[in-house]
């Protein structure tokens, strides 16, 4: 009898494995190469760049119109557009109004099919993923403790204040860790465990008290997302954010433990970035589907912390500003990777720049503000 039961159990287990195996394999096959951890070269550098293949054409996903048809006077905007075209590092410029592309140009050998490292614009993408995870009840509140999602990393912390680190503190850059942007990253290039080394930094302030920009902390948020959802940030993004928008990331950086980079090293085309901006302009809705919960779009693009500089504020990985008489939310990355959204004007602007031989860095950001202020907004508000 025992022998028969044992044989029956083995048959059942084998059948179960056969049923699950192909489904699991198929699910993995559905993911893009960027999410494949088994067949990629180990990269220890904090900032990573891959050889992103050309994106497939996505002309069928767009509505194209003219400036005039969408209420922009092209004669008033012309000087500003010519000024932007003079940049030796600019790769793309896309203007959208009322959901239509009204201007699209590529420069210095770049093309629509080329993916670009969007640098810290990746943080705003991560913010959207966190909102989706809230909607799916992987998170309860922004006051959830980070330690509850990464317990092994908090089992023996040197400073007990770290146990009070909350999701809110990661999302608003009020973590308190003594991270030195553009310096601390170099120490992680030799690290076998980025999360452990980031959390090993001393606290320079209590969590929740001071704004302190940190790309390392956004990487912690990516690790938290992975542990909460049981999927990498790359897989979660493609299943629940990118697929509805028709986006496929050609490259995404990953740390030695398999956590995808939370605040940098994500590759997208300028058109894909424009679609992401349009999604937030539409309060998370895309073609009748609520991709990102509307309440999260409002919360993440509302002032959550005072940052003590010329910006109007900071939300959840979004920069907030006012330009002319309008509120603007921006996703900004190093070397001029820029996404601006002005909801009241139903306007999205994307511009990307080359990383190589680019000494100008934040000058491109200032140029984008000047263009909006002096040229594009007057072309909308003017006669």
- Domain locations in the chain as residue ranges: 59-381
Q: Residue range 262-278: average pLDDT?
A: 94
- Phi/psi at 92 (5° precision): -150, 155
- Look at residue 365 and give its three-state secondary structure: helix
Cα–Cα distance for residue pair 301/131, rounded to 1 Å: 12
Strand partners, 105: 93
Under CATH, to which class is 59-381 assigned?
alpha beta
| Tens digit of each residue's pLDDT (9 = 90 or more) over 233-246 | 999 999 999 999 99
The kind and range of the H/E element at 111 are none
Count of CA atoms in the C-beta half-sphere (13 A) of 104:
21
**Cα angle 254-259-265, degrees, rounded to a multiple of 5:** 35
On the question of pLDDT at 9 being above 90, the answer is no
Q: Residue range 293-321: average pLDDT?
A: 92
CA 143 to chain centroid, in Å, comes to: 21
Q: What is the structure's pLDDT at 52? A: 60
Highest mean pLDDT among 6-15, 47-56, 67-76: 67-76
Average pLDDT, the chain: 88
Alpha helices in the chain (DSSP H): 2-29, 74-85, 121-135, 167-171, 184-188, 194-199, 215-229, 233-237, 243-245, 270-281, 294-300, 363-371, 377-381
Q: Which two tokens stand for residue 177?
A: 């860790």
pLDDT band at 167 (very low <50, low <70, confident <90, very high): very high
Please give the model's pTM, rounded to 2 decimal places. 0.89
Cα torsion angle, 15, 17, 18, 19, sign = positive
Specify the higher pLDDT residue, 295 or 40.
Answer: 295
| Tens digit of each residue's pLDDT (9 = 90 or more) over 177-207 | 999 998 888 888 889 999 999 999 999 999 9
């Amino acid at each position: 009898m025992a022998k028969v039961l044992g044989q029956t159990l083995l048959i059942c287990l084998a059948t179960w494995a056969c049923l699950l195996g192909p489904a699991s394999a198929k699910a993995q096959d559905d993911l893009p190469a960027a999410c494949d951890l088994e067949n990629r070269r180990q990269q220890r550098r904090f900032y990573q760049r891959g050889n992103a293949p050309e994106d497939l054409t996505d002309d069928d996903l767009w509505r194209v119109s003219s400036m005039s048809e969408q209420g922009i006077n092209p004669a008033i905007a012309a000087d500003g557009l010519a000024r932007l075209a003079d940049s030796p590092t600019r790769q793309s410029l896309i203007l959208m109004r009322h959901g239509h592309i009204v201007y699209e140009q590529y420069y210095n050998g770049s093309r629509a099919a080329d993916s670009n490292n969007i640098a810290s614009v990746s943080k705003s993408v991560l913010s959207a993923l966190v909102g989706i995870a809230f909607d799916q009840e992987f998170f309860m509140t922004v006051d959830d403790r980070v330690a509850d999602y990464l317990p092994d990393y908090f089992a023996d912390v040197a400073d007990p204040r770290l146990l009070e680190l909350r999701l809110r503190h990661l999302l608003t850059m009020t973590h308190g860790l003594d991270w030195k942007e553009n310096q601390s990253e170099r120490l992680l290039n030799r690290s076998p465990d980025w999360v452990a080394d980031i959390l090993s930094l001393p606290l320079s302030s209590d969590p929740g008290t001071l704004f302190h920009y940190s790309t390392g902390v956004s990487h912690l948020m990516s690790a938290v997302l992975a542990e909460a959802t049981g999927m990498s940030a790359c897989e979660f993004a493609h299943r629940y954010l990118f697929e509805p928008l028709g986006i496929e990331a050609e490259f995404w950086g990953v740390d030695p433990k398999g956590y995808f980079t939370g605040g940098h090293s994500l590759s997208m085309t300028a058109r894909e970035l424009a679609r992401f901006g349009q999604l937030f302009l539409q309060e998370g809705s895309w073609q009748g589907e609520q991709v990102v919960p509307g309440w999260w779009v409002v919360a993440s693009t509302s002032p959550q912390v005072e940052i003590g500089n010329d910006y109007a504020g900071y939300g959840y990985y979004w920069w907030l500003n006012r330009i002319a008489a309008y509120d603007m939310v921006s996703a900004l990355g190093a070397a001029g990777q820029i996404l601006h959204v002005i909801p009241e004007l139903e306007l999205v602007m994307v511009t990307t720049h080359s990383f190589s031989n680019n000494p100008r860095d934040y000058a491109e950001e200032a140029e984008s503000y000047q263009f909006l202020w002096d040229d594009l907004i007057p072309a909308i508000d003017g006669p």
